[in-house]
């Protein structure tokens, strides 16, 4: 069965728009890591590619000093100001894990030292 629209593909028996579907971004089974934060969400599928999103949270005590290092932990590269205009988020662990409710967000160069003001942080990385 073929899908009726040029940007759709048959994935698991249904036609999906692979240019905007977060679970099938660009191709079937390519899942974007999305943080549901307002104006707009971070990490969504845009034009068939997952947009930048925040890394896993790391503790200040882990000793990482910049976002280049933190993104590299996941085999990714940092995207300066790529997550709704921010490079880093910080907060306690629950706040850090829910990027929209982090206590501090900042815009900075990926190689710049993070000014830690809380225990946990994450960085904006390419997917």
Within-domain flag for 24: no
37 pLDDT above the threshold of 90: no
SS3 59: strand
For residue 90, give its domain range.
53-125
pLDDT confidence tier of residue 101, bands split at 50, 70 and 90 = low
Within-domain flag for 43: no
Q: Are 87 and 123 in contact (CB under 8 A)?
A: yes
Within-domain flag for 39: no
39 pLDDT above the threshold of 70: no
102 pLDDT above the threshold of 70: no
The overall average pLDDT reported for the chain is 91
Q: Is the pTM of this model over 0.85?
A: yes
Residues in the chain: 127
Q: Are 70 and 58 in contact (CB under 8 A)?
A: yes
Q: How many CB atoms lie within 10 A of CB 45?
A: 23
Please name which of 13, 36, 35, 17 lies closest in space to residue 26, comparing C-alpha atoms. 17
Phi–psi pair at 79, nearest 5 degrees: -120, 105
Q: Are 19 and 84 in contact (CB under 8 A)?
A: no
Within-domain flag for 4: no
Q: Are 123 and 71 in contact (CB under 8 A)?
A: yes
**Domain count of the fold of the chain:** 1
46-89 confidence digits (pLDDT tens): 999 999 999 999 999 999 999 999 999 999 999 999 998 999 98
């Amino acid at each position: 069965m073929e899908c009726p629209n040029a940007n759709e593909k048959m994935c698991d028996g249904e036609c999906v728009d692979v240019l905007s579907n977060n679970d099938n971004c660009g191709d079937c089974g390519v899942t974007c890591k999305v943080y549901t934060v307002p104006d707009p969400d971070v990490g969504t599928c845009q034009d068939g590619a997952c947009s930048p999103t925040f890394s896993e949270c790391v503790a200040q005590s882990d000793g990482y000093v910049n976002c280049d290092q933190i993104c590299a932990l996941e085999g990714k590269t940092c995207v300066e100001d790529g997550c709704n205009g921010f490079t880093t988020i910080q907060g306690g662990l629950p706040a850090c894990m829910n990027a929209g409710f982090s206590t501090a967000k900042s815009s900075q160069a990926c190689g710049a030292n993070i000014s830690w003001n809380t225990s946990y942080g994450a960085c904006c990385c390419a997917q």
